[in-house]
Amino acid sequence: MSGWTSVTVAVNRGGSTAAAPEPAACARPGYNEGNACFDKRPTPLAEPVVPWSGAGSPTPAIFWVQVSGAGTADTVRVLTASDVAAFSTAAERVARSLTFTPALKAGRPVAAWTQVAILPQ
């Protein structure tokens, strides 16, 4: 009988470029418990407004926007429509055309959901 045994050892050299797996919950608007999805939220590069010359003063329209790691609006969902239907329609077009500084997780751009209020101007 031998006194030796063989053991497999894994060495972590650090500096791995592999991203941590994204929690499935990050696919849901509004989830970022404990900064699981991002450390810094996406921000629009331009003020989200709609020039408005219609009747009345519409309330803002609020959307959930899923922003890609490249800063484009991938998915737009209405959270709160304006009280003026024509303004809501115009606001959704603006929300879909916005570009963003993407969300960051550990200093790297990631896809993330954010709320955007589109205001009349």
CATH number at residue 72: 3.30.2420
C-alpha–C-alpha distance, residues 89 and 12, integer Å: 52
pLDDT in tens, 3-52: 554 444 444 555 444 455 567 899 999 999 999 999 999 999 999 999 99
The answer to whether the beta carbons of residues 63 and 30 sit under 8 Å apart is no
pLDDT at residue 116, as a whole number = 97
Instruction: Output the CA angle 91-97-100, nearest 5 degrees.
Output: 110
> DSSP label at 62?
E
24 within some domain:
no
Boundaries of domain holding 80: 35-120
Number of domains in the chain: 1
Average pLDDT, the chain: 87
Q: Examine residue 2 and state whether it is found in any structural domain, yes or no.
A: no
Residue 18 within any structural domain of the chain: no
pTM higher than 0.85: no
